[in-house]
Structure 1
Amino acid sequence: MRIPIGKLTVFYLILIAFASCKKKTEFQIDSVQITPVFVDSLNIRALAPLDENRVWFAANNGKVGLIDGDIPKLAVIKYSDSLLHFRSIATTKEAVFVLSIASPAVLYKIGFNGTEATNIEEVYKESGPEVFYDSMKFWNEKEGIAIGDPIGGCMLVIITRDGGNTWEKIPCENLPKVEKGEAAFAASNSNIAIYKDNAWVVTGGKNSRVMHSGDKGKTWEIYDTPIVSGKAMTGIFTVDFWDAQNGIILGGDWEDKNSNVKNKAITTNGGKSWNLIADGEEPGYQSSVKYMPFTQGQGVVSVGPNGIFFSGSGGKHWRKLSDEGFFAIEFVNDSLAFASGNKKISKLIFQKEEK
């Protein structure tokens, strides 16, 4: 169909306007306000916010709690006479799940009526000298996954399909092989990322790689990354995905926390390949990274021992917002998150300056 020249000009102007609207623009945050909400003699590496005022946590010394405004509701969980150490937590509408590290690894389901815990039951246990579980996430109200360090040449992967009442281990022959010295890090309950039916699991040590399942853990592939590796405490410590294609990984060298080389990368093809970002620039080692909600994958925040860092460009460039160190961060909305660290949980409010 022939288009008159006047209409053609309008047509192209519309196309240009549409393309500019689709182009991602850098997101801006100027500062962060940090308000302590809980202080205790605990190492807190696992958080699960419910809303702007309530957050579940799991910690060492058997401690599990719900911070409800300024009221901490705490419980101590023992296995036999031992205090368990928790670094994994996940929630559904009716329950909270906490999983301990080391042996025995014990997974508890805590009933929750929206206000109070109602009951607690053991739903999975695994023992052995090499057992060590690192993190846990749920795809939906029925299906969840937990990841542990490798035994017998593959990562430990357990899955529930019935709301957490029962958990089943995936056989090694159905999982990617990992090399001796390759493992995962229980640094912040964030070495698993979930998006729709996808799961991504990150490793470190001998290799820094990304395992991916596109069908809720039924089948798996594994991909190389350029993140630093080779030593016991080098590798990927944290992963997050904005959608099925765009994701980010951070980590580095836990023994050289200022090193900022080969410790940050992004993917645009679902994890099949990764490109280094801000290489040789801050931040150095980081233990938890999250996309900020409602920022089209441009707003990213990471935390670690050297402070809180922000990127408004999807990770390409970073700026330090605070020197205060944390282990883990979880967002509630695009301006509010909870962060946990050594002896503390804080509420973080991210702010733009009014022009």
Structure 2
Amino acid sequence: MKRIVLLILGVVVFFSCGKKEAVAKSRELNEVFIINHQLDSLLSIRALEITKDDNVFFLTSNGYGGVVYYSDADEKSNVVYPIPMAHDSVNNNFRAFAATNYNGFALSIASPARLYKIKNDEKVLVYQENHPKAFYDSMEFWNDQEGIAIGDSTDDCLSVIITRDGGNTWKKLSCNDLPKGTENEGAFAASDTNIAIIGNNTWVATTASRVYYSPDKGETWRVYNTPIVKAKETEGIYSIDFYDELNGFAIGGDYTKPDNNAANKIRTNDGGKTWQLVAQNQNPGYRSCVQYIPNGNGKELVAVGFKGVDYSNDSGDSWKHLSDEGFYTIRILNDSVAYAAGAGRISKLVFK
């Protein structure tokens, strides 16, 4: 088993929804088959990525990691869990995971926020923030050397840390280098999908229903308002994804009123400068994660939340409810298979 874990961690790389090949027309998916891997029902699993070898790596709220891998021997998926993620006995609540071709990175939420570089059995603490308001939400990499993580405001701006040396060191951006934040602006640590990257372009969705945009891998920033509902602290954008440099989608709402479906779904076709409400007063209501399906010409989307799984094949104008099974986050493997995480479980989803 140790050998399997070492191999997986050695080659782990996150699945990107970036450059996707277009097709002439979108399909019509009508159902989803769900294969559950049940772990501890008390766990919250909100960070997962699909690895280079089509295995799934995930992090949990009690400080461990795990892998779902396909075995040729028994022709089924198996789970390796738990895998310790810290270099000591610290109990971290992990909500974000990202990887390069060389290392994995695990980021905990509350103060002291800790970021670990992981390779094989080696776990190295590469960043720690002890500010009492520190709370990190999401992380992604542009390439093997450059990556970004974002968190709630500790001063007058969003918390943004960046690495330019493969994750060995991280530097927090000064508020002088970022747009001025709104009061208590942050991000929802619900699905590790607050950041979208296409090439050098980066979009960050916040609790204030704003989208930060950088055209140059975090060197410079602008911020754009969106029409997603934001009347109280439980409302805002929970997840964002881009199909290409122009077309993107974001979803959210209010997790305390998950059936509310007004002003919780938005779309852009100009790279995030302007956003339009779609499927207004239509389901789905609150969802914590949205992802484009590859090879769908920017039309096919899947959204998940603890109220179920929904699918659109018209860029979000209308949605079909596929399942009542609840999840926090999802990653798409190909145009028919995805993996999702929820309360104490990892699941394989097959769309038909």
TM (norm. structure 2) is 0.88
Alpha-carbon distance in 2 for matches of 1:255, 1:100? 24
Distance in 1 of aligned mates of 2:216 and 2:292? 23
Letter in 1 for 2:298: G
Q: Report the CA distance shift for 1:74/1:245 in structure 2 as closer, same or farther (over 3 A).
A: same
1:36 corresponds to which residue?
Answer: 36
Partner of 1:94: 102
* 1:247-303 residue CA offsets vs partner (Å, 9 max, x unmatched): 001000111110000000000111111000000000000000000011111110000
Separation in 2 of the partners of 1:302 and 1:179? 27
| Residue in 2 that maps onto 1:3 | none
Mapped contact 2:105–2:115 kept (Cα < 8 A): yes
Shift of 1:334: 1.2
Map Cα deviations across residues 23-61 of structure 1 (whole Å, 9 max, x no partner). Answer: 964431111111113422411000111157511111111
| Aligned partner letter, 1:185 | F
Q: In 2, are the aligned partners of 1:308 and 1:321 still within 8 Å (CA)? A: yes
Structure 2 partner of 1:17 = none
Out of 121, 140, 145, the residue aligned to residue 142 of structure 1 is 145
1:104 is matched with which residue: 87, 104, 112?
A: 112
* Aligned equivalent of 2:334: 333
Counterpart residue number, 1:345: 346
Identity %: 46
CA drift of 1:203 comes to: 1.0
The residue correspondences of 1:127-276 to structure 2 (distance < 5 A) are 127-204=130-207, 207-276=208-277
What's the counterpart of residue 16 of structure 1? Answer: none
Letter in 2 for 1:37: H
Judge conservation of contact 1:38–1:72 (CA < 8 Å) in 2: no
Tell me the matched-pair count.
323
Structure 2: how far apart are the matches of 1:81 and 1:90?
A: 22
In structure 1, the residue matched to 2:289 is 288
Decide whether aligned partners of structure 1 residues 233 and 162 sit closer, same or farther in structure 2, where only a CA change above 3 A counts.
same
* Cα distance in 2, alignment partners of residues 218 and 97 from structure 1: 22
How far apart, CA to CA, are the structure 2 residues paired with 1:109 and 1:181? 29
Gap regions ≥5 residues in structure 2: 1-21, 71-77
Distance (Å, rounded) in 1 between the aligned partners of 2:145 and 2:170: 11
SS at match of 1:43: coil
Q: Secondary structure at the match of 2:341?
A: strand
* Paired residue secondary structure (1:173): helix
Match of 1:299? 300
Task: Measure, in 2, the Cα distance between the counterparts of 1:71 and 1:129.
Answer: 36
Structure in which a larger fraction of residues adopt strand: 1
1:231 maps to amino acid: K
Is contact 1:181-1:232 (8 Å) kept?
A: no
- Paired with 1:170 and 1:225, the residues of 2 have a C-alpha distance of 24
Partner of 1:19: none
- 1:5 maps to what in 2? none
Deviations 1:181-220 (A, max 9, x none): 332100000011111001111112xx31100001000000
Is 117-126 or 190-199 further displaced after alignment? 117-126
Letter in 1 for 2:180: K
TM-score, normalised via structure 1 length: 0.88
Match of 2:122 in 1: 119
The residue that corresponds to 1:277 in the other structure is 278
Amino acid at match of 2:328: F
- Cα displacement (A) at 1:164: 0.9
Matches of 1:333 and 1:168 in 2, distance apart?
35
Change (3 A) 1:23 1:29: closer
Name the CA distance, whole Å, in 1 between partners of 2:67 and 2:294.
23
Flag structure 1 segments of 5+ consecutive residues without an equivalent: 1-21, 112-116
Q: Is the 8 A contact 1:77 1:83 kept in 2?
A: no
Alpha-carbon contact 1:61-1:76 (below 8 Å) kept: no
Is the CA contact 1:24–1:298 (under 8 Å) kept in the aligned structure 2? no
Give the AA of the match of 1:330. R
Q: Which moved more, 1:48-57 or 1:60-69?
A: 48-57
CA RMSD of aligned residues (A): 1.6
> Is 2:57 the counterpart of 1:56?
yes
